[in-house]
Amino acid sequence: CQARPDVWYLGDRQGQCICEFRCTEVVDLSARRLGVYRYGQWIVCSYSGAALSAAFDAVAPFDATVELARVRRGRRFGYLALDGKLIFTIEYDSADAVFSEGAATVSRGNRVGFINLSGEHWLEADEFGMFAGGRACFRVKGRYGYVNHFGHVVLPSVFLDVGDFRDDRAVV
């Protein structure tokens, strides 16, 4: 590998060049995927250098638990699979980059909810927390409750404050 401006290399342990990227920046997104930045946009590539995705304004590292990466175009977010296909289209106003127990919080307009590999689950809520112990808290009009991974309310929003579930219990 010979150093040159705007050229990045992927090398093996013996120092041999595997792939060359003509770009401004390269980021390891984990799961044997690279984020390659060029011409003001990011694309996702395999370690062999094959482009796997369309261009995005931002790409977060792949979450190892669900093998999805959050992507952004303009002000909207979506999620990309390892093969470069969009699993959740770029339509969310906000979206967590990190999944908690297989779920990530998202919002669209005035709706808050979460996504997991089985789809979207929406609540009429002001706020939605991360999953812990199989439950996630949500807030409606200043009161908290809990939902399960299917989006079903398991404890109604009657609590002033809540904690995470641990060993099937939570401080409320």
Task: Give the integer Cα–Cα distance in Å for 28 and 22.
Answer: 16
- Could you tell me whether strands 58-59 and 68-73 are parallel, antiparallel, or unpaired per DSSP bridges? antiparallel
**Which residues, 6 or more positions from 25, have their beta carbon under 8 angstroms from its beta carbon?**
8, 36, 37
**What's the confidence (pLDDT) of residue 169?**
86
**What's the confidence (pLDDT) of residue 37?**
94
Q: 29 in helix, strand or coil?
A: strand
Yes or no: say if 42 and 58 are a contact pair by the CB < 8 Å rule.
yes
pLDDT-based confidence at residue 123 (cuts at 50, 70, 90): confident
Query: Across the chain, what does the average pLDDT equal?
Result: 92
**What's the confidence (pLDDT) of residue 166?**
86
Q: What are residue 10's DSSP bridge partners?
A: 19
pLDDT score of 48 more than 80: yes
The reported pTM is: 0.86
pLDDT score of 59 more than 90: yes
- Sheet order of strands, 41-46 included: 25-30, 33-38, 41-46
- What the block records as the tokens of 100 is 């908690």
Task: Give the integer Cα–Cα distance in Å for 115 and 104.
Answer: 5
